[in-house]
């Protein structure tokens, strides 16, 4: 039988791969793992306790916030704040970033961005949700509090990123720029255990994921591409939780699209909290991610914390094909 490798053991071993690592990044990943276990416990019993339903407010981006989102947000903030392994955090649920004062007098060089509970419309109906996170090295001086510039970095500057999927089992998937590994929570011992080493996304797959209900609101070239997916006999799978949809594609191949619509002319998904961390994971697994202008997502410099973007992400050959398809169709229709 293979020996069990826990998340803690794995990240400590990997720390040795970075000659100047001080242990802060290792500590941060562990904090995120702890918060994920706490959130997982609440997600699992959400039907039993009074955490279901809408809280009385809307989040910064105007969406309805559900109570479990607030809980997950609080737990992540608590875990990251108490350890002092980062100097600031920015959450999709908060309007502004939060500087974190040094805990033991020593200031940290990292900031963390996260979407505490992605796909929250799924909570009430017992369908998968997830947590998305990204870690950047700060740009501002370590002598003072973190600044906005620390959070508005390109995705190419990410030091680590990942997600937790609260599904039929709970998985933590992360990359520190050296491949992608997945850890499955073993509830009997309360540990995330290495379950999938060096994940490689298939070059193409049998699925496309898009909110087909918005079909008539998409631009004509996007409608043509979606027709093409259907003509190719691809199966449509759309969970409405980006983490879950991307997770399927990471393992089985396929393409996920969230194009512009009339309601979301810039796209719906947030660059800092959703697009960048998931694009980093997918690229590290050999996939690709581009925006509606066919530019690489990770090269985009966000101008504000809650900036949204269009996105096409997934298997490399399928993203390339979609790009060529849109380029060809656009040039034909403007000729």
Clarify whether 63 is annotated catalytic. yes
118 contacts Mg ion (rule: CB under 5 A) = yes
Beta strands in the chain (DSSP E): 54-58, 64-66, 88-91, 98-99, 110-118, 129-137, 158-166, 170-175, 180-186, 191-196, 207-209, 235-236, 255-258, 269-270, 288-290, 308-309, 311-314
The verdict on whether 115 is a catalytic residue reads yes
How many residues interact with ligand AHM (rule CB under 6 A)? 10
- 131 vs 73: CA distance, rounded Å: 10
Residue 273 CB, nearest approach to Mg ion (Å): 6
Partner from ligand AHM, Mg ion, none binding residue 191, C-beta < 5-8 Å depending on class: none
In the bound state with Mg ion, the residue whose beta carbon lies nearer, of 11 and 257, is 257
Indicate whether 245 belongs to the interface with Mg ion (CB under 5 A).
Answer: no
Known catalytic residue at 227: no
Binding of Mg ion by 93 (CB under 5 A)? no
- Does 150 participate in binding Mg ion (rule CB under 5 A)? no
CA dihedral 17, 25, 177, 174 (to 10 degrees): 110
Measuring CA to CA, which residue among 113, 129, 63, 61 is closest to residue 308? 61
- Give the span between the Cα atoms of 189 and 204, in whole angstroms: 36
Give the separation between CA 94 and CA 81, rounded to whole angstroms. 15
Based on CB atoms, which residue is closest to ligand AHM, 66 or 184?
Answer: 66
Lay out the site mask for Mg ion across 289-308 (x = CB under 5 A, - = otherwise). --------------------
320 is catalytic: no
Q: Does 93 bind ligand AHM (CB under 6 A)?
A: no
Q: Among residues 24, 31, 69, 85, which one is catalytic? A: 69
Nearer of residues 24 and 115 to Mg ion, judged by Cβ: 115
User: Does the annotation mark 335 as catalytic?
Assistant: no
Q: Which residues are catalytic?
A: 63, 69, 92-93, 115, 117-118, 274
């Amino acid at each position: 039988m293979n020996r069990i490798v826990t998340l803690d053991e794995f990240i400590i071993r990997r720390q040795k791969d970075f000659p100047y690592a001080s242990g802060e990044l290792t500590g941060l990943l562990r904090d995120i793992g702890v918060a994920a276990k706490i959130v997982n416990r609440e997600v699992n019993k959400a039907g039993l306790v009074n955490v279901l339903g809408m809280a009385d407010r809307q989040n910064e981006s105007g969406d309805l916030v559900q109570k479990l989102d607030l809980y997950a947000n609080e737990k992540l903030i608590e875990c990251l704040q108490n350890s002092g392994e980062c100097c600031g955090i920015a959450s999709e649920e908060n309007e502004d970033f939060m500087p974190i004062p040094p805990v033991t007098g020593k200031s940290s060089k990292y900031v963390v961005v996260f979407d505490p509970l992605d796909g929250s419309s799924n909570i009430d109906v017992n369908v998968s949700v997830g947590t998305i996170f990204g870690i950047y090295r700060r740009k501002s001086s370590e002598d003072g509090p973190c600044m906005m510039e620390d959070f508005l970095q390109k995705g190419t500057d990410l030091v680590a990123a990942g997600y937790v999927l609260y599904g039929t089992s709970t998985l933590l998937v992360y990359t520190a720029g050296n491949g992608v590994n997945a850890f499955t929570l073993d509830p009997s011992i309360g540990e995330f255990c290495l379950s999938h080493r060096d994940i490689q996304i298939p070059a193409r797959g049998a699925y496309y994921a898009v909110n087909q209900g918005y079909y008539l609101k998409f631009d004509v070239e996007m409608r043509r591409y979606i027709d093409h997916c259907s003509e190719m006999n691809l199966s449509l799978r759309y969970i409405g939780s980006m983490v879950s949809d991307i997770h399927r594609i990471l393992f089985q191949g396929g393409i996920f699209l969230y194009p512009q619509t009339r309601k979301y002319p810039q796209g719906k998904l947030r660059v800092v909290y959703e697009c960048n961390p998931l694009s980093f994971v997918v690229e590290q697994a050999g996939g690709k991610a581009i925006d509606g202008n066919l530019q690489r997502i990770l090269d985009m410099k966000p101008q504000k914390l809650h900036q949204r973007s269009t996105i096409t992400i997934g298997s490399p050959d399928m993203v390339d094909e979609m790009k060529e398809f849109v380029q060809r169709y656009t040039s034909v229709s403007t000729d």
